[in-house]
Structure 1
Amino acid sequence: MQGLWLTILASALLLAQAMTATARPDSFADLADQVSDAVVNITTSTTVAARGGPAPVVPEGSPFEDFFREFNDRNSQGGQGQAPRRSQALGSGFVISEDGFIVTNNHVIEGADEILIEFFSGKELPATLVGTDPNTDIAVLKVETEEVLTFVPFGDSDIMRVGDWVMAMGNPLGQGFSVSAGIVSARNRELSGTYDDYLQTDAAINRGNSGGPLFNMNGEVIGVNTAILSPNGGSIGIGFSMASNVVTRVVDQLREFGETRRGWLGVRIQDVGEDVAEALGLENTAGALVTDVPEGPSAEAGIQQGDVILSFDGVDVEDTRGLVREVGNAEVGKAVRVLVFRDGGTQTLLVTLGRRETAEAGSEPMEKPATEEPQTADILGMSLSALSGDLREQLGLPANAEGLVLMGLDAEGPAAAKGLQIGDVITEAGQQQVRSIADFEGRIEAAKEAGRKSLLMLVRRGGDPRFVALPLN
């Protein structure tokens, strides 16, 4: 019996060793050889305007007087100060097609007059800019050559798991074609952009690595190295690579159109908190709450303020970030089905998507209002005033704006606890418009009669709307 247990134990140890050997490669050398010809160093040159300012003041008779006079004469241009100078910057990139398309970060080439590509072989070629997308910090370049270039394919970033091995390659601190390895430390990281979807890695990434590829073990690009988190500017093992499944959509559009063309739903939204879900009668907090519906696709389709978008084009909406990504990835002009929660039930609406870039370029005119006397009251820890012409002008609101302005606030009251501020404008309460103090008081009574613990209000601050569930107790 003891011999049987020893045999089982030995087999288990051998299996564990085999699994460890499979999970951790003995070397990354074969992978580096496989992809190195497709990774490039990027050098950019930019003309920087000379800094103006007076010449150094040197006391008359100083032994340095002649020296400074000659120095200023050499560096002046007709009395206009120093001549413009050239500034250089370094970055990384990778070839994605045999005819010379190259991917890098937008911030690597932004504002550059000249872009020079250095290949692993030592050959150098000038590059032209095809297109950029500042929202994802991606740029596409093109080099012209009669040679068939080695390139690398994109992989599927969605199947990468925390703990998977990855390898970064690039031009850190000007030390070209350097390789570092690590694991995927986290997924779905968000930094500051609307379309952020970063893989976090502990593979060493430093300045100059920007725009370089992050490879899986099959030699496929699953991320574009973009940023690091560091107190000193050097790698401390927290780097971020824009996920390939975001990058590929951007690259395809930049190659085809020279610009991005993202879908636009035409709504302002916020996440559904537990208090908002309770106030609306929702079972959970999934979805995106519509706070505003300006003129556009959603308004034409019948989507309203207070609707909760539960599904977009057949995909369940978990939160606002998920909805923004789904809409942005959708085709401009596509008719999509949008499932919304409204008045205790659901409705499906058909929305024909617009183009986000076109919508963002538009603006709305504003008019000046007339003067009138406001109504005021203290309710639920808030000093409220109905909008007057003077208040509209002070707050920069259009003449037809309606609602109640928060003029004062009880620091210990429920409104302050919810983050409301002086100057906020309450335009809806209980999903109905409020124009007067009487309207607001009526909404409070209706909510209490319905057994609600909170009152759902639509609050605007600086033109941006959001829903706030204000406790009634």
Structure 2
Amino acid sequence: MADSTPLSSLSSALADVVARTAPSVVSVHSHRSRATGFVWKPGLIVTADEALADEGEVQIGLPDGSMVTATIAGRDHTTDIALLRADTDLAPVKLAATVPPLGTLSVVVATDRDAPSAALGMVSASGKGWRSLRGGDIDARIELDARLRFGQQGGLALDAAGEAYGMAVLGPRRVLVIPTATIACVAAQLETRGRIARGYLGLGLQPVRLDDGMGAMVMNVDQAGPSATAGIRQGDVIIAVNDQKLSGVRALSRTLGPASVGAVVDVSARRGGEPVSFKVTVGERPEA
């Protein structure tokens, strides 16, 4: 037998990593859509929300080729995480809270046409947290220089040590990884509540330019919402929140994440040109 080379050693190590992880990876069948998922906890499967149909039954394809029916425990469009319940005895994956350094190798273990699949790539971006186009807070910016099919979304991204550090999804132009920290936070809320709480002021706002900066004019008020309770009216112009000058309506909405629910915020505004202030207890955004 020929002596092993660095390349053959790498190849064997990669194959071993994939073989160890594949038994916890499943295929997800929903209406005209195929995706990948992985066992997060016993009976609970994490998958990519983007690849999960909005209607119809969900079936899980197990590594042994059998199928089981799943129910949707909850889904969060903003972070692309969905949680499914299914009666399986597959072992959960242990997720590592690591963010791989730039330039390191990564393997995505997934399914493709109901068969196990793998893709090798390089970590092409590794940085701080970011906000998705749909308003979700992602704990780290991880991009992979790898090619994935649509059905491989929801697969596990593994680092060179074989540790799973997140879920691979297709971004607008690149493969992104939703990191462990984000999955742990979102999936836990989906498991217990079925949804992610978002802050709610109960206001419809329109940006306006003022002599001394930006403001947000109140166009409509939910009369059952927290701002109406605090006394804010249509026509008021909000200029600051918690003594921070407003930089725009979008910036204000960014502050209304899950942690904001129940917080009391100081809202500075102008009414008919005169300064007014309010204390608003942030509510929870209605499902609709």
Checking the alignment, whether the CA contact within 8 Å between 2:216 and 2:238 is kept in structure 1 is: yes
Which residue pairs with 1:104 in the alignment?
A: 47
Mapped to 1, the partners of 2:159 and 2:206 lie a distance apart of 35
Q: Which amino acid aligns with 1:92?
A: T
1:94 aligns with 2:38: yes
Match of 2:280 among 351, 367, 380: 351
Residues 1:180 and 2:135 are matched in the alignment: no
Q: Is structure 2 residue 196 aligned with structure 1 residue 250?
A: no
- Match of residue 227, structure 1, among 146, 170, 188: 170
Indicate which of 294, 297, 309 corresponds to 2:241.
Answer: 309
Query: How does 1:292-331 map onto structure 2 within 5 Å?
Result: 292=218, 294-295=221-222, 296-301=225-230, 305-309=237-241, 323-330=252-259
In 1, are the aligned partners of 2:51 and 2:150 still within 8 Å (CA)? no
Following superposition of structure 1 onto structure 2, how do residues 69-468 of structure 1 map, counting pairs within 5 Å?
A: 88-97=32-41, 99-111=42-54, 113-145=56-88, 147=89, 149-156=90-97, 162-163=102-103, 165-172=105-112, 175-185=115-125, 192-195=133-136, 197=138, 199-217=142-160, 221-229=164-172, 238-267=174-203, 279-280=211-212, 289-292=215-218, 294-295=221-222, 296-301=225-230, 305-309=237-241, 323-330=252-259, 332=261, 334-338=262-266, 350-358=279-287, 361=288
Extract unaligned runs of 5+ from structure 1.
1-20, 47-87, 231-237, 282-287, 362-473
Report if the CA contact (8 A) 2:105-2:120 is conserved: no
Q: Which amino acid in the other structure matches residue 329 of structure 1?
A: P
Q: Is the 8 A contact 2:74 2:82 kept in 1?
A: yes
Kept after mapping to 2: 8 A contact 1:266/1:299: yes
Aligned-residue identity in percent: 25
Per-residue deviation at 1:140?
A: 1.3
If each structure's helix is expressed as a fraction of its own residues, which one has the higher value? 1
Other-structure match for 2:3: none
Aligned mates of 2:184, 2:215 — CA distance in 1 = 29
The question of 1:37 aligning with 2:23 is answered yes
Do the aligned partners of residues 108 and 229 (structure 1) sit closer, same or farther apart at CA in structure 2, a change above 3 Å counting? closer
Write out per-residue CA displacement over residues 300-335 of structure 1, whole angstroms, 9 at most, x where no aligned residue. Answer: 4467523133679xxx99876665444222264x13
Q: Deviations over 1:273-325 (max 9, x none)?
A: xxx68x326xxxxxx8534272432454467523133679xxx9987666544
CA displacement 1:46-75 (0-9 Å, x = unmatched): 4xxxxxxxxxxxxxxxxxxxxxxxxxxxxx
C-alpha deviation, 1:95, in angstroms: 0.6
Change (3 A) 1:306 1:248: same
1:217 CA drift (Å): 4.9
Root-mean-square deviation (Å): 4.2
Deviation of 1:152 (Å): 2.0
Report deviation, 1:170.
Answer: 1.1
Report the residue type matching 1:280 in the other structure: D
User: How big is the shift at 1:111?
Assistant: 4.3
2:241 and 2:266 in contact (8 A); partners too? yes
For residue 83 of structure 2, what is the amino acid of its counterpart?
V
Are the aligned partners of 1:199 and 1:241 in contact in 2 as well (CA < 8 Å)? yes
2-side partners of 1:323 and 1:172: how far apart? Answer: 41
Q: 2:25·2:111 contact (CA, 8 Å) conserved in 1?
A: no
Q: Kindly tell me the number of residue pairs found equivalent between the two proteins.
A: 267
Higher strand share: 2
> Aligned with 1:253: secondary structure?
helix
TM-score, scaled to structure 1: 0.46
Pair 1:165–1:306, CA change in 2 (3 A): farther
Which one-letter code corresponds to 1:170 in the other structure?
A: A
The letter for the 1-side match of 2:257 is G
Residues 22, 116 of structure 2: 8 Å contact kept: no
**Counterparts of 1:201 and 1:267, CA distance in 2:** 39
Distance 1:161 1:174, change over 3 A: same
Q: Residues 170 and 323 of structure 1: is their aligned pair in 2 closer, same or farther, counting only changes over 3 Å?
A: farther
